[in-house]
Amino acid sequence: MIKYLSNNEIDKAKWDACIQEAFNGTEYSSSWYLDIVSENWEALVEGNYDRIFAIVPGYKWGINYLYQPVFTQQLGLISKSHLSENVVGQFLNSIPSKYKFAEINLNTYNKVNQGDYHVHYWQNFELDLIRTYEQLYKSYSENLKRNLKKTEKAGLTLSKNIKPEDIIALFRENRGKKMKTPGDADYLKLKSLSYKGIYKGLITTYGIYTKRNELCAGAIMLKNKNKIVFLFSGLSDEGKKTGAMVRLLDSVIQEYAQQNITLDFEGSNDTNLARFYQSFGSSKCTYPHIVINRLPLLTRLAVNSIKRIKKYY
């Protein structure tokens, strides 16, 4: 039986235990992570927390809806046992009827019957690091290898455990200037996520510095069981010219090579980013983006407003 639980009804110890035991548990769904990105998150739970499904509610213009919180690429159904389209459908059908609209991301292991919902499969890229670095390097594209050699001539240096706020500031001063989201509140959440993750031993930060000791590229990496997730990054114009992000990601690959770990690039649907991630020899995988619309016909115009909820992906 699937139960709907409000936030104060969730047994977070059992919740987190399920994530650790589940074959598809992700750190995005951990209680500490969800508490930061959306303190009022709710849940669908089956049995004694054998299967769990986080939902994040919003309310706007008299409409209750569900959305994908910032910095959580995938949520969806987490399970200790085998999943099928039917099981995933049962959980989606158990979303309380008060939520008239939902736009959410499930996870890679959640398969959905295309006829039941509006489903789009968004793409992600992952690189299995079990091989030696030399073997991984052979899978790099020729263009990537050239750019990597260029970074050596630029005299770039790598530093670990830099301040997360320095990486956030680097992003805001460059690419972030052209984006309406994330907003100030989202950046504060990212800073909180980073420091909590560092405290828990789950987040590591990396920075690339120029010859003048100026930060030109940075990344916040989230450890998730047997994955290292490229959660957030910043890059300056000089960093672009010198291939600093290539150097940074290559350094992460060298660090984790020959380990049972997958580098999760966390996207992207953007053609240029997808090409960049594929240049490392990564493989494409997908996850379902679900739209549920239970709005009355005359109020469906409100969807355009709901779509302006804060989200990063």
How many Å apart are CA 280 and CA 83, to the nearest integer?
Answer: 31
- The enclosing domain of 77 has a CATH number of 3.40.630.30
Burial level of 84, CB count in 10 A (0-12/13-18/19+)? Answer: exposed
Determine the average pLDDT of the residues in 264-277: 91
Angle, alpha carbons 81-114-102 (nearest 5°): 85
**Is there a single domain that holds both residue 249 and residue 135?**
yes
Structure confidence by residue, pLDDT tens digits, 184-221: 999 999 999 999 999 999 999 999 999 999 999 999 99
Q: Let me know if residue 299 belongs to a domain.
A: yes
- Distance between alpha carbon 190 and the CA centroid of its chain, in Å? 12
Domain holding 190, by residue range, is 130-260
Q: Let me know if residue 213 belongs to a domain.
A: yes
**Is there a single domain that holds both residue 167 and residue 256?**
yes
**Is there a single domain that holds both residue 295 and residue 208?**
no
Of 296 and 135, the structure prediction assigns the larger pLDDT to: 135
**Is there a single domain that holds both residue 97 and residue 147?**
no
At 300, the pLDDT band (50, 70, 90 cuts) reads low
Q: Let me know if residue 84 belongs to a domain.
A: yes
Say if residues 234 and 169 touch (Cβ distance below 8 Å). yes
Which residue in 3, 113, 101 sits closest to 52, CA to CA?
A: 3
Cβ-Cβ contacts under 8 Å for 300 (sequence gap 6 or more): 293
**Is there a single domain that holds both residue 165 and residue 59?**
no
How many Å apart are CA 313 and CA 68, to the nearest integer?
Answer: 9
- Does the predicted model carry a pTM greater than 0.85? yes
Q: Let me know if residue 119 belongs to a domain.
A: yes
At 301, the pLDDT band (50, 70, 90 cuts) reads low
**Is there a single domain that holds both residue 78 and residue 149?**
no
Burial level of 185, CB count in 10 A (0-12/13-18/19+)? Answer: exposed
Say if residues 252 and 125 touch (Cβ distance below 8 Å). no
Structure confidence by residue, pLDDT tens digits, 29-78: 999 999 999 999 999 999 999 999 999 999 887 889 999 999 999 999 99
Q: Let me know if residue 311 belongs to a domain.
A: no
